[in-house]
Structure 1
Amino acid sequence: MTAADLGSLLSNAVLPHLDIFGALGLCLGFTSGIMPRRDLILAAAAACSVCFALHYGHLGAYTGTAMCVVSAMQSLVAALAMGEGRRPAWIVPLFAGSSLLAAGLTLATWNGWPSACAGIGALLATLARLQASPQAMRRLFFAASSCWAAHNLLVGSVFGLTGDCLTLSALAFALMRGARLRTAPVPAAA
């Protein structure tokens, strides 16, 4: 057996299980959970959604693909157009319309429980993106990520499920850190 034969054998054994977009999505999902600012959370979440849309398309999980495309659009709009008490009047109708689109795409790509989990996760994430407070956003993203974990378990996405576990861990850490900062005593002025 030559080195080329060994390389080919190894490549044939490994490549079908390696999905670069799933791996990138996994990293970006964790990163979004620990970002310090709302706009950074949303930018990382948008990039994560694009990666997972490609990953789910590769797996044939088309409801997940569709929800990730809607999610990426919403995250980018929320990151660029909202923040610091700013919410243009067109944001809520746009998000309502994209939620209706997500519901329609969920029905059009229906595959039972995986589709239900992806659809509910997308709805909770939509609500999260409308929040002004990073902590409120994290709480809703935690619920959304729990739904996505169920979806990923059902469709067999190792990258998605691993990413959800990391994202849930990062969100739990950030929620506890935020709660601790909110309840920390303010030092007395000297």
Structure 2
Amino acid sequence: MTGIAGLSAATLSTLLGGRRAILTAQAAASSLFLLHFLLLGAWTAMLMCGLGLIQMAVRVQRQPSRTLGLLYGLTVPAALAVAVLSWQGPMSALSATGFLLATLGRWQTAVGRMRVFFVMATVVGAGHNLLAGSVFGLVSDAMGLCGHCVGLWRAGMFRSLIRRPPPAPRALSEASA
């Protein structure tokens, strides 16, 4: 049940346009996935979800204080400590790497840059979810990638990749005809 609800909230977060709305929906998803990973016995991911909740509580604010900024920064060494102390091999390494990429994403003030980091974090997180056996996590990753890519598309992030080449100059004989 928590997997389905987490999947729904995570998918919703990718469809929202505002930074604060995205982070709020992600916090809901993270809370639900924290319980999901607890039930699966994926301790590293569960603890990373908890640290992510701290980050989202800080970054959802428009102007976090220096103290909150420090708290945000302290989640990085805490995440590395969690990965080491709850080591489950590649699952822990992937969880920590995904967390660090999401950390960089949450720090961004521009939604487009935030989404780019979230795409990278999602790809790495999919590796963790595959090893953890989290079907809902993998479906959430697939939906998240689609949603973030649609958001990037709507923002015009891919326009330079699909520009049409300029038309070829017409020959002089065609121009005079």
State whether residues 118 and 148 of structure 1, in contact with CA within 8 Å, keep that contact through their aligned partners in structure 2. yes
SS of 1:64's equivalent in the other structure is helix
2:17 to 36, 48, 59: 36
Q: Residue 95 of structure 2 aligns with which residue? A: 118
- Aligned positions of 1:29-68 closer than 5 A: 29-68=10-49
Separation (CA, whole Å) in 2 of partners of 1:34 and 1:149: 19
Q: Kindly provide the amino acid, as one letter, of the partner of residue 128 in structure 1.
A: G
Note the C-alpha offset of 1:34. 1.1
Q: Residue 175 of structure 2 aligns with which residue? A: none
Q: Residue 130 of structure 1 aligns with which residue? A: 107
Separation (CA, whole Å) in 2 of partners of 1:56 and 1:180: 33
TM-score between both structures, scaled by the size of structure 1: 0.80
Note the C-alpha offset of 1:92. 3.5
Q: Decide whether aligned partners of structure 1 residues 111 and 181 sit closer, same or farther in structure 2, where only a CA change above 3 A counts.
A: closer
Deviation digits for residues 112-163 of structure 1 (CA, Å, limit 9, x no counterpart): 1111110001111111111100111101011111111110001110000000
Greater shift after overlay, 52-61 or 90-99?
Answer: 90-99
2:80 to 99, 103, 107: 103
Q: Kindly provide the amino acid, as one letter, of the partner of residue 115 in structure 2.
A: R
TM-score between both structures, scaled by the size of structure 2: 0.86
Highest Rg: 1 or 2? 2
Separation (CA, whole Å) in 1 of partners of 2:147 and 2:103: 19
Q: Residue 69 of structure 1 aligns with which residue? A: 50
Q: Which runs of 5+ in 2 are unaligned?
A: 161-177
Q: Decide whether aligned partners of structure 1 residues 113 and 181 sit closer, same or farther in structure 2, where only a CA change above 3 A counts.
A: closer
Q: Decide whether aligned partners of structure 1 residues 168 and 89 sit closer, same or farther in structure 2, where only a CA change above 3 A counts.
A: same
Separation (CA, whole Å) in 1 of partners of 2:148 and 2:6: 16
Note the C-alpha offset of 1:89. 2.8
Identity %, equivalent residues:
35
Corresponding pairs, count = 160
Separation (CA, whole Å) in 2 of partners of 1:87 and 1:73: 12
Q: Which runs of 5+ in 1 are unaligned?
A: 1-19, 184-190
State whether residues 34 and 49 of structure 2, in contact with CA within 8 Å, keep that contact through their aligned partners in structure 1. yes
Q: Residue 161 of structure 1 aligns with which residue? A: 138
Q: Decide whether aligned partners of structure 1 residues 181 and 63 sit closer, same or farther in structure 2, where only a CA change above 3 A counts.
A: closer
Q: Residue 78 of structure 1 aligns with which residue? A: 59
Note the C-alpha offset of 1:87. 4.7
